Chains A and B, each alone.
Chain A
Amino acid sequence: MNQLQNFTKGFVRENPILMLVLGCCPTLATTTSAVNGLGMGIATAFVLVGSNTVVAMLANLIPDKVRIPSFIIIIASFVTVVDLLMKAYVPDLYETLGIFIPLIVVNCIVLGRAEAFASKNTVLSSAIDGLGMGLGFTMALGILGAFREILGSGSVFNYRFIQGDGILVFILAPGAFIALGYFIALVNRVKNK
């Protein structure tokens, strides 16, 4: 597999949300608008690239039995860095995403990639893998966020195109479940064609 394939596999074929249904919590919770979804996706992508790179560098130095705890420490460190940086430079977005920033640490995608890919591959391919997966995640979040924002508030990227209210339920909790359900069903259908 060349690096290009390695990079693009996270977009559709192995997209963490749409194909593997990993990392659902932030997907549902933070996609009330396109901007929020993208913000969450980028934060996660940063952690993915960072942790994948460091894990790949240290993979041979870490004894097998303490592999998972070591990975968790590395991931938690990157999450804390993102947490502090966002608090300092994008405080509004930080407040909207709230508890889901520290919770990146338990996002199955991050630990999953560290364990399944980064611990067995070179630093370069791990970084690319992290970036590809992160972008795939960001893309899915952005699309879902835009979809819910369009239906729910009649705007996209905070640009209003209809007056009055949208279909409120799509911004509320039930809309998140339903929108993601149909999104995955659609992808399944296209894939099976």
Chain B
Amino acid sequence: MEYILIIISAVFVNNIVLAQFLGICPFLGVSNKINTAVGMSGAVTFVIVLATIVTYLIQVFILDKLGIGFMQTITFILIIAALVQMVEIILKKISQPLYQALGIFLPLITTNCAVLGVAILVIRKNYNLLEGVVYSAATAVGFGLALVILAGIREQYDLLDIPKGMKGVPISLVTAGILALAFMGFTGIVK
């Protein structure tokens, strides 16, 4: 039951993009086409879950043991950067199709604050490892959901007559705002 609550809360109520403002850059950057949006969400899901597991273990078995919790930021970002590189190399070796689908998104993920954000949030929320994994996967799904919805709407922009100053980023932001408004309807589902 608790896991279902975590999932619903992470996907809908506290949607990482629309309610917590993490991962806005890729949210605006790769939401032009549904295809790229799906690819990006796949890559992000993969990295977020992996990063959460590794950073959790490092926090519990190294940082907490040695009492150097203040090294969290610097350790986590280096782990994530290294992890992304490793995933890229491994994918290239073992699965060419998967690499071609996700490869171009991987370098962008290091600076996706959603990855570091989720890793830190899992520690701050005092989750255990399993809860952390469920939470990170659900968060990534929420990210993908928001991204794909926005991409679906943005594909229609070509057909519309948008004022010049609003073209590009501003209209996407306003659309995202209306999406966030819609997602606010979910608050209160989880008590």
Stretch touching chain A among B39-47, B58-66, B114-122: B114-122
Residues of A within 8 A of B173 (CB): 177-178, 180-181, 184
Which secondary structure dominates where chain B touches chain A? helix
* Contact A72 B77, beta carbon cutoff 8 Å: yes
Which of B113, B165, B166, B178 has the most C-beta atoms of chain A within 10 angstroms of its own C-beta?
A: B113
Tally chain B residues at the interface, Cβ within 8 Å: 42
* Contact A73 B78, beta carbon cutoff 8 Å: yes
Residues of B within 8 A of A80 (CB): 70-71, 73-74
Given A25-B25, A173-B180, A174-B184, A181 and B113 contact (CB-CB distance below 8 Å): no
B176 contacts A by Cβ under 8 Å? yes
* Contact A108 B116, beta carbon cutoff 8 Å: no
Contacts from A to B (Cβ < 8 Å): 21-22, 24-26, 28-29, 68-69, 72-73, 76-77, 79-80, 83-84, 99, 102-103, 105-108, 111, 169, 172-178, 180-182, 184-186, 188-189, 192
B171 contacts A by Cβ under 8 Å? yes
* Contact A72 B81, beta carbon cutoff 8 Å: yes
* Contact B19 A173, beta carbon cutoff 8 Å: yes
Given A106-B77, A175-B177, A185 and B21 contact (CB-CB distance below 8 Å): no
Give A172 to B24 CA distance when docked, in angstroms. Answer: 16
Give 1 or 0 for each of B5-38: 1 = CB within 8 Å of chain A CB.
Answer: 0000000000000111111110010000000000
* Contact A181 B77, beta carbon cutoff 8 Å: no
Residues of A within 8 A of B166 (CB): 181, 185, 188
* Contact A174 B177, beta carbon cutoff 8 Å: yes
Residues of B within 8 A of A169 (CB): 181
* Contact B20 A29, beta carbon cutoff 8 Å: yes
B169 contacts A by Cβ under 8 Å? yes
Which of A24, A29, A111, A175 has the most C-beta atoms of chain B within 10 angstroms of its own C-beta?
A: A24
* Contact B73 A176, beta carbon cutoff 8 Å: no
* Contact B71 A181, beta carbon cutoff 8 Å: no
Q: Indicate which residue in A29, A178, A184 contacts B177 across the interface (CB closer than 8 Å).
A: A178
